[in-house]
Structure 1
C-alpha cells in the first residue's frame, strides 16, 4: 500500500494561475492601504485557490512484478565448431539457474539458429523480436552467448537495460580460409577468364607458414596440386574446357589445430558459352525457302553467317561476259580446304553436284564431320537425282539413302514416338485437331542409319539425325519448311524446329538427347535425366563426405526423368547413371557463417558500450551477477550487472479529497468574517 498527493484541478491551470495572480494583487492593495485584515484575506484566497487545484490523497494497492533477463543462445553453424556448442549450453544452464535463484527475477531463454538463405547469424533480429514481446519496463538486461560473429547488426534495437556478450572463443583459436573472388557466372569458350584466390590465416595461426598446397579440380576430375602463398591475392587464369556448367573446386587440406575445414574449399560454377557461332550456308540455287534459313541464322546475334547462293553455275552459258557480272566468285578452296575447321555448322540447302565442289573438297567435309563438325542437308528434288550429294564422298556420313522418288502431294509432318523423346522435337505439339499445315513435296528416304524424329508422306522418314564419329549430321527430306513460316494452313513451329536443329548440331548442352544434370535450389537439387530409352536405372549420388546412395527416377514427360534430392551437407555432389556423370555444388559458394570463425566482441562493441554492458570470454569462467543502478557501468572484471526495474501492477486505487467543499466554504467564510471584524474594530 502506497500513498501520494495528486491534483485534480476543477479549472484549467492557466485560469487558476490567473485567479491566483488577481488574489495577490488584491492582497497587495490591502497591504498598501494599511488594512489590518490582509493576512486573513490572503489565507481565505489561498484556501479557495487550493480548493480549485483539487488536492487528493491517493492510495494504491500494488503487486510487484518480476524483472526479466533475456538469455540468447547462438546455435548457428559457427557455434558448432570445436567445443563451442557444449560450452554455450553449459553456460546457459548455469546462468539461468543463477538468475532464477535471485528474488524477483525471470529468465527468457531464446535459441538463435542459422538464418535462412545463407543470411548468417541473426542475433539482433531475435533480440528485437524478444523485446517486442516483453514490457520494456520489466527488462533488466540481455545476455548473448555467442562467438560475436553476427550478420544483422543494422537491426540492433534500443535497449532499456545493459547488454552483455559472453563469447565462446579461446586465445589459441586459429583458422585457415580459402576464398575465390571475381568469379563470373558466364565464361566465353576459348577466352581466358581471371579469378582471384586468397588464402588467409586468422587468429593465433602458427608462424613460419609461407605456402600451402591447393588442389584444383574441374567437374570432379582428378585434382591438380599447386603450392600457393598465404596472405596474398593470386590471379588464376582459366579457360573453360566445355560449354554448359563447369564446376570448379578449389581446396586446401585441413591443417592441424585449425577450427574447421568448412572454409578450406570454394566451389565455383561457371556456364561456358560460345562467343560467336560460325555457320556456312551454301544454297544450290535461289528458291522460296532460302530466305527462311538466312532469316533464322541472322536473327541470332551470336551467329556469324557466311551465305553463298550459286546464281550462275558452270552449265549456265548466257553469253554475258564475266567482267560485266556483279557476282562474287565462290571461294571454294578457301572455304573447304583452308578455313573449314573455323565453322561450327555447314548447311547445304538444295545443293547438287555441279562441278563447283570437287570430290576432294567433299572428302574434306566428310573428314570435318568425323572429327567433330556438323553438316545439315536440306534436301530438294536435286537430292533424288543423279547429281545428288548422296552420290559423293558424303555418302559415308549421310544418315539415309534417297530412292530417287520425289513425292509431289500434300502431307502433314508428324513427330515420331522417338521424336517425342528427342530434345529437337520434344514438346512440338500441333495446335488444334487438324495439326500443322501441310507441305507439298518430300524426297523419299530409306535405310535410315540415325534417329528418325519426324515422318511425312507414307510414313517415310522426313527428319533424320545421326552422330558420325565425333560429329553430327542431319537430313531434312523436304525443301518446303518455309510453308510453315508463311502460315500456310495454319503453319507450324518452323523457326523453333530449325533453331533446335541448328543448336543440336552445334552441340549445345541443353539439347543433348542423352544427358544427366541437376538444378540446385538452396540445399535441394532436381536431378534430371534425358534419354531416348523408355526406362533408365537409378541415379547414384555421392555426397561431399563420400556417402553413396541411390534414388529412382520418375518419367515426367517423354524422354525426361526427374527426382528431388535434399542434400544433407554443403559441397560437391557427384551423380552417376550408367555411362553418364555430372557434378553439382549445393549450398552457397561461400557460407557467411564460415567467412569469420574467430570469436570476437568487436562487431558488437558499439551496441554494448551504448548500454554500459560488457564483453567477457567464457574461457575465463562464468561471471558473477550484480545489481547496478540505471546509467551506471554494468560490467567489470569477472562480473556483469543487471538493472532492477521495480515494475509493479496496480490492483486498486483509493482517492480522498483533502479540501472537500464544506471545509473550503467554512474556512473561507471564517477567515473573511475574521478579517472584516478585525478591520471593523480598528
Structure 2
C-alpha cells in the first residue's frame, strides 16, 4: 500500500500562482506596517489558496512483479563438437539454480537451432524474439550460452539490461579447415578450369603440425589422389572434367592430431560439364524431302556447329558441265575425313551411297573414329539395300544391322518395342501420342539387328526401324526409313520427330541423362530423390547408401515406369552420400558444400563483444568455472571474475486506486474564516501594547 498527495486545481495554476504572489505582497506590506495580525491574515490566505489547489490523498494497492532473466542456449551444429554439449548442459543447470535462489526472479530459456538454408547460428534473432515476448521493464538480464559464433550479429537488439556470454570450448583449442574460395558452377568439357583452395589453421596450433598438410582430391566418388600442400596459401588447382553433366569434386584434408573437428576438413563441389560447341558433319547422298529435317534440327540449336554437304550430281553422270561449276566450294574430303575427323562430335550419313566420292580409306577412318569414341548415325533410304550401300563398305564392321535389300512400301505407324519402352532415347515418347497413334510413314528398308544392336522402334511388318548400338568407345545408330519428315509436316497428326531426333543426337553424344544404365540422386529439402534407369526386365537389387557419418542403409526402389525405378529417401545429415547398386555407383552432396556452422569453430567472444560491452555485461569461459549471479544497480558494472550481474527492475502492477480529499470544502472555509476573524480581533479589539 502506497500513498501520495495529488492536486486537481479548481482554477488554472496560473491564477493560483498569481493570487499567491498578490497575497505574499499584501502579507509583506502588513508586516512592514507593523500590523499585529499580519501572520494570521497570511495563514488565512494560504488556506484559501490550498482550497483552490484541491489537494487529495491518493492510495495505491500495488502487487510487485518478478524480474525476468533470458537464457539463450545455442544448440546449433557447432555446439555438438567435443565437450561443448556437456558444458552447455552444466552451465544451464547452474544458471537455473542461481536464478531460483534470487528473490522474485524467473528464468526464460530459449533454444537456438541451425537456421534453414545454411543460415548458421541465429542467436541475435532468438534474443530479439525473446525480448519482444516479455515486458521490457521486467527484463533484468540475458545470458547467452554459446561458442560465440553468431551469424546474424547485425540483428542484435538494444537490450534494457546486462547481456552476458558464457563461452563453451577451451582456450587451448585449435582447428584446421579447408576453404574452396573459387569454384565455377559450369565448365567446358575438354578445357581446364581453375579452382582456388586454401587450408587455414587457427587457434593454439601445436608447432609439430604447422606448415604442410595432406590434401586428397576425388571425382565422382572415385579413388582419391593425395598431395602435400602448404598451409595458409591460396592453391590454384586446374581441373578438366571427365564427362558432361554434373561432376562431383570432393576435397579433403587429412586429420591432424588434436584439431577441434574434422567436419570442416572436407568440401564437396558440383560442377556441370557442358560442351562449348557441338561439331556435327552431315553428308547427304542426294537431295530428298527429309534432308531439310536434319538441317533444320541441327541449325535450330545455337550450340551446334554444322558442316553440311549434299551430293547433287553423281560422278558417273557425264553431261559436259565443267566440274568447277558444279558446286560453290569443293568437297574437302581429305580435310574432313583424315585431318579433322576427330574434331567432330557426330557424323550423319543421310541416304548416302558409295559413288567413289569417299575412298575406302576414308570410310575406314570413320570406322576407326567410332571405335575411338566417335558417333555415327545412318539415316537409310532405298539405297541402303543396293550394291553401293554403306552396309557394303568398311562401315559394315560397326553397323549393328544387316539388310535384305528389300524395300517395304505402304503405310505403317512406327511404335516402340518393349526395349524401346525402357530405353532413354524413346522412353515415354508414346505417352503424348494421339488416341489413334502417330502419323503413318510409307517406306522402310528391311533390316535385321545383329550383335549388340538394340531395336527400340519397329515399323512395317514388325521389322526393326531404329537400332542403337555401342561399338568400341563410340556409338552407332541406324534409322531404316527416310520418312521421318512426315511427322515434321504434321501428316495425320504427326509425331515426336524433333524430340526423337534430339534424344537420339544427345544419346550419341553421350549425354549422362540419356545413359541406359544409370543410378542418380537429386538432393531436395531434407530428402534424396534416388532414381535408377535400366534396360533389364527384372527389378534391380537394393541401393546401398553410405551416409556422411559412415553409417549404412538399404533402399529398395519401387517401379515408377518401364525401366525406371525411383523413391524419396530422408537424408537429414549434411555431407556426401555414396550410393551403390549392382555395379553402378554415384555420389551426391546434401546441403551446402561448406556449412556455415563449421566455417569458424573456435569459441570466441569477439563477434558478440559490442553487444556485451554496450550493456556492461561480461564474457566468461565455462571452462574457468561456472559464475555466480548477483544483483547490481542499474548502470553499474555487471560482471567480474567468477560472477555476472542482473539488474532488479522493481516492476509492479496496481491492483486498486483510491483518491480521498484531504479536507472537505466547508472545512477549508471555516479554517480561512477563523484565521481572518482572529486577525481582525487582534488588530482592532485587543488593546495596543504601551510604548
Deviation at 1:665, TM superposition (A): 5.6
What is residue 615 of structure 1 aligned with on the other side?
A: 619
Q: Which of 635, 643, 648 in structure 2 is aligned with 1:644?
A: 648
Deviates more, 1:237-246 or 1:608-617: 237-246
Mapped pair 1:453 → 2:456: yes
The 3 A distance-change label for structure 1 pair 328 and 636 is: same
Q: Which of 421, 432, 438 in structure 2 is aligned with 1:430?
A: 432
Q: Which of 543, 548, 553 in structure 2 is aligned with 1:549?
A: 553
Deviates more, 1:55-64 or 1:443-452: 443-452
CA distance in structure 2 between the aligned counterparts of 1:452 and 1:50, rounded to whole angstroms: 114
CA contact (8 A) 1:210 1:230 kept: yes
Deviation at 1:472, TM superposition (A): 0.9
Q: Deviations over 1:13-32 (max 9, x none)?
A: xxx14433664686599789
Deviates more, 1:110-119 or 1:505-514: 110-119
What aligned pairs does 1:278-297 form with structure 2 within 5 A after superposition? Answer: 278-297=279-298
The 3 A distance-change label for structure 1 pair 337 and 44 is: farther
What is residue 145 of structure 1 aligned with on the other side?
A: 145
CA distance in structure 1 between the aligned counterparts of 2:668 and 2:365, rounded to whole angstroms: 125
Mapped pair 1:340 → 2:309: no
Deviation at 1:314, TM superposition (A): 0.9
CA distance in structure 1 between the aligned counterparts of 2:330 and 2:590, rounded to whole angstroms: 56
Deviation at 1:221, TM superposition (A): 2.1
Mapped pair 1:402 → 2:403: yes
The 3 A distance-change label for structure 1 pair 666 and 432 is: farther
CA contact (8 A) 1:430 1:492 kept: no
CA distance in structure 2 between the aligned counterparts of 1:281 and 1:343, rounded to whole angstroms: 10
TM-score normalized with structure 1 length: 0.93
Q: Deviations over 1:479-506 (max 9, x none)?
A: 1222222222222221111111100000
Q: Deviations over 1:580-633 (max 9, x none)?
A: 111222232111111111111110000001111011111211122211111111
CA distance in structure 1 between the aligned counterparts of 2:121 and 2:564, rounded to whole angstroms: 40
Q: Deviations over 1:278-330 (max 9, x none)?
A: 11011112222222211211222221111111122213333222344452221
Deviation at 1:45, TM superposition (A): 7.5
CA contact (8 A) 1:60 1:650 kept: yes
CA contact (8 A) 1:178 1:200 kept: yes
Mapped pair 1:508 → 2:504: no
What is residue 19 of structure 1 aligned with on the other side?
A: 15
Deviates more, 1:632-641 or 1:649-658: 649-658
SS of 1:443's equivalent in the other structure is: strand
CA distance in structure 2 between the aligned counterparts of 1:522 and 1:657, rounded to whole angstroms: 71
What is residue 170 of structure 1 aligned with on the other side?
A: 170
CA distance in structure 1 between the aligned counterparts of 2:503 and 2:47, rounded to whole angstroms: 102
Q: Which of 576, 582, 604 in structure 2 is aligned with 1:600?
A: 604
What aligned pairs does 1:1-400 form with structure 2 within 5 A after superposition? Answer: 1-8=1-8, 16-20=12-16, 23=19, 54-207=54-207, 209-400=210-401
What is residue 688 of structure 2 aligned with on the other side?
A: none
CA distance in structure 2 between the aligned counterparts of 1:371 and 1:334, rounded to whole angstroms: 19
The 3 A distance-change label for structure 1 pair 677 and 274 is: farther
The 3 A distance-change label for structure 1 pair 18 and 452 is: same
Q: Deviations over 1:163-212 (max 9, x none)?
A: 00111132211111111110111111111111111111111001252212
The 3 A distance-change label for structure 1 pair 28 and 629 is: closer
The 3 A distance-change label for structure 1 pair 337 and 95 is: same
SS of 1:420's equivalent in the other structure is: helix
Deviation at 1:93, TM superposition (A): 0.8
CA contact (8 A) 2:141 2:647 kept: yes
Q: Deviations over 1:308-363 (max 9, x none)?
A: 11122213333222344452221111111221111110011111111111222112
CA contact (8 A) 1:189 1:275 kept: yes
SS of 2:456's equivalent in the other structure is: strand
CA contact (8 A) 1:190 1:240 kept: yes
The 3 A distance-change label for structure 1 pair 211 and 659 is: same
The 3 A distance-change label for structure 1 pair 101 and 326 is: same
What is residue 689 of structure 2 aligned with on the other side?
A: none
CA distance in structure 2 between the aligned counterparts of 1:471 and 1:73, rounded to whole angstroms: 60
CA contact (8 A) 1:542 1:574 kept: yes
Q: Deviations over 1:137-165 (max 9, x none)?
A: 21111111111111111221221110001
What is residue 420 of structure 1 aligned with on the other side?
A: 421
CA contact (8 A) 2:48 2:668 kept: yes
Deviates more, 1:619-628 or 1:21-30: 21-30
The 3 A distance-change label for structure 1 pair 655 and 308 is: same
Deviation at 1:643, TM superposition (A): 0.3
Q: Which of 644, 655, 663 in structure 1 is aligned with 2:659?
A: 655
Deviation at 1:637, TM superposition (A): 1.9
SS of 2:355's equivalent in the other structure is: coil
CA distance in structure 2 between the aligned counterparts of 1:447 and 1:324, rounded to whole angstroms: 42
CA contact (8 A) 2:342 2:369 kept: yes
SS of 1:143's equivalent in the other structure is: strand
CA contact (8 A) 2:16 2:53 kept: no
The 3 A distance-change label for structure 1 pair 85 and 447 is: closer
Unpaired segments of 5 or more residues in structure 1? none
Q: Which of 473, 477, 491 in structure 2 is aligned with 1:488?
A: 491
CA contact (8 A) 2:27 2:42 kept: no
Deviation at 1:657, TM superposition (A): 2.3
CA contact (8 A) 2:5 2:57 kept: yes
Deviates more, 1:580-589 or 1:369-378: 580-589
The 3 A distance-change label for structure 1 pair 42 and 458 is: farther
Deviation at 1:515, TM superposition (A): 0.8
Deviates more, 1:627-636 or 1:267-276: 267-276
CA distance in structure 1 between the aligned counterparts of 2:678 and 2:440, rounded to whole angstroms: 126
Deviates more, 1:17-26 or 1:255-264: 17-26
Q: Deviations over 1:249-280 (max 9, x none)?
A: 22222111111111111222212221111110
Deviates more, 1:86-95 or 1:604-613: 86-95
SS of 2:404's equivalent in the other structure is: strand
The 3 A distance-change label for structure 1 pair 452 and 662 is: farther
